Amino acid sequence: MSDVNSTADAPRSPGRPRSVRADEAIIEATLDLLAEGSTIEALSIEAIAARAGVGKATIYRRWPGKDALLLDALRRLKGVVAQPAGHSVRDDLVLLVGAVGHNIDPRAERIMPCLVPEVNRSPDHFQLYQNIIEPRRKLMREVLRRGVASGELRADLDIEVAMALLTGPMLVQRLLRWHPDLDDRLLPEKVVDGVLDGLRAD
Amino acid sequence: MSDVNSTADAPRSPGRPRSVRADEAIIEATLDLLAEGSTIEALSIEAIAARAGVGKATIYRRWPGKDALLLDALRRLKGVVAQPAGHSVRDDLVLLVGAVGHNIDPRAERIMPCLVPEVNRSPDHFQLYQNIIEPRRKLMREVLRRGVASGELRADLDIEVAMALLTGPMLVQRLLRWHPDLDDRLLPEKVVDGVLDGLRAD
DNA sequence: GGGTTTCGATACGGCACCGGTTCGTATCGT
DNA sequence: ACGATACGAACCGGTGCCGTATCGAAACCC
């Protein structure tokens, strides 16, 4: 575990123990500031400290720098991966597609777009991002493969393209609100059904 | 025309005329800096002037501030809207889908992601963005309607959802490289064919 | 040539902010 | 009570930017 505040075997601390309250406040302040639109690079230890009602030293005591702090903070957003039921491929896809770009913490909705430039700029961050979403992608890949095996989906299906078709519309909607007058809640169903059935007239 | 350097009826200027070269250099410098990864907010008049080999006064003489300059600069990226041939709905869609997130200026590819946070933050910028892409959306909408009318596409087609299905995958790919191992050049065809035919086994 | 405007360059005052450290105090184990 | 550590606040040195002003040179019209 790379969390700074590791809860491993408590080493007898001689002096005053670290304030758990401060820990939480710092992380929360970081996420709040990001959610309010601050760019990653514009985010400063100073601002975080001020927002958290904490001295800067308290932050430097825990993290070596902004990057490490951000890493821990963003880890917070990563919700549990939804588990498909495994009955109907269609229903499983609806579930997974609905989870695309959806995070438990409502702040994530505002934060994720702000990370786009960073992810595009830095290969490291790009890789990190890929690592985070890979489990979810894998899940969808398996559902698709199951569909192919069961005959529900075309035998010659290109899995990667299919995933792009399914996740793209949702992601664009959640990230960019590209189509302002589409209903978020109904979209997963519509996307899955639309992609499954195709647009062509029978 | 909201361009600052309007070429309207030339009012006899008594003194030395504005240097067109400087005009160009300033815009180019702005785009270059953005393409190199500078955030919009991190972009400074000072940096632009330095990069353009221009005095700051020369910039302030033309634009009231950073925002106005940026507006003019970004206008440069907006390429000509591709015109569908009108023969096959499928081919027209391939053309339009291929144009999604594609700009003439190669720098746009680096710049657009950086604008995502800005567009999400400011309603004004969001509206501006919508205004820019609306013509292209309208084009696709018409092609889809044509397909419905001609019987090539289902009669009960939800146009807005269909557009999301078509543009979403491309945009995600171009903007986020969400699926790192998909080929950009072949994707438009694959997306259109995939969405048209659907994933379901016949 | 005279008048006018722009050119690039540089300088300016002022401001805001930032990173990291220091300081006196508060809170812990023993 | 004592030593050790963490706490928040305040401090320091430095950076960068903005928007304006000024400068000598240059480019234009008449």
Neighbour tally for A69: CB within 10 Å: 21
The dihedral of CA A26, A31, A37, A39: what is its sign? positive
By residue count, chain B amounts to: 202
**Which residues sit close to strand C, CB under 7 Å?**
A 12-17, 42, 44-47, 55-57, 60, 65-66; B 13-19, 21-22, 25, 53-58, 61
Are the beta carbons of B4 and B68 closer than 8 angstroms? yes
**pLDDT tens digits, B97-154:** 999 888 788 898 888 888 888 888 888 888 888 888 899 999 999 999 999 999 999 9
pLDDT at position A6 over 50: no
Residue of A133, A200, A202 to mutate, interface with B, max B Cβ within 10 Å:
A200
| Overall average pLDDT of the B174-182 stretch | 82
Are the beta carbons of B110 and B56 closer than 8 angstroms? no
Band (A98; pLDDT cuts 50, 70, 90): very high
> CA-CA distance, B143 to A98, in Å (whole number)?
28
B20-75 against B89-197: fold identical: no
SS3 A153: strand
Average pLDDT over chain B reads 88
CA angle A49, A68, B40 (to 5 degrees): 75
Nearest to B47 by CA among B64, B69, B62: B69
**Which residues sit close to strand D, CB under 7 Å?**
A 13-19, 22, 53-58, 61-62; B 12-17, 44-47, 55-57, 60, 65-66
Domain ranges, ordered by start, for chain B = 20-75, 89-197
pLDDT at position A1 over 90: no
Report, in ranges, which bases of strand C sit under 7 Å from a protein C-beta.
Answer: 3-11, 17-23, 26-30
Q: Cα distance from A77 to chain B (closest Cα, Å)?
A: 18
> CA-CA distance, B122 to B128, in Å (whole number)?
10
Are the beta carbons of A195 and A176 closer than 8 angstroms? no
- Provide the token pair at A80: 């549990």
| Overall average pLDDT of the B15-34 stretch | 94
Superfamily designation of domain B20-75: Homeodomain-like (1.10.10.60)
Give B153's strand partners.
A200
Contact criterion met (CB < 8 Å) for A162 and B114: no
Tell me how far apart the terminal alpha carbons of chain A are, to the nearest angstrom: 53
Band (B12; pLDDT cuts 50, 70, 90): low
| Overall average pLDDT of the A70-94 stretch | 86
Å: A23 CA to C24 C1':
23
3-class secondary structure per residue, chain B: CCCCCCCCCCCCCCCCCCCHHHHHHHHHHHHHHHHCCCCCCCCCHHHHHHHHCCCHHHHHCCCCCHHHHHHHHHHCCCCCCCCCCCCCHHHHHHHHHHHCCCCCCCHHHHHHHHHHHHHHHCHHHHHHHHHHHHHHHHHHHHHHHHHHHHCCECCCCCHHHHHHHHHHHHHHHHHHCCCCCCCCCCHHHHHHHHHHHCCECC
SS3 A177: coil
> CA-CA distance, B70 to B48, in Å (whole number)?
11
Interface of B with A in 33-52 (CB under 8 A): 37, 39, 41-42
Say whether residue B113 is in contact with chain A using an 8 A CB cutoff.
yes
Contact criterion met (CB < 8 Å) for A200 and B202: no
pLDDT at position A7 over 70: no
Contact criterion met (CB < 8 Å) for A117 and B116: yes
Cβ-count burial B35-54 (b if 16+ within 10 Å, e if not):
bebbbbeebebeebbebbeb
> CA-CA distance, A7 to A1, in Å (whole number)?
10
Nearest to B111 by CA among B103, B120, B123: B103
| Overall average pLDDT of the A58-74 stretch | 92
Average pLDDT over chain A reads 87
Say whether residue B193 is in contact with chain A using an 8 A CB cutoff.
no
Give the H or E element holding residue A62: helix A56-62
- Which of A4 and B17 is assigned the larger pLDDT? B17
The class level of CATH for B89-197 reads: mainly alpha
> CA-CA distance, A194 to B13, in Å (whole number)?
61
**pLDDT tens digits, A140-185:** 999 999 999 999 999 999 999 999 999 999 999 988 888 878 888 8
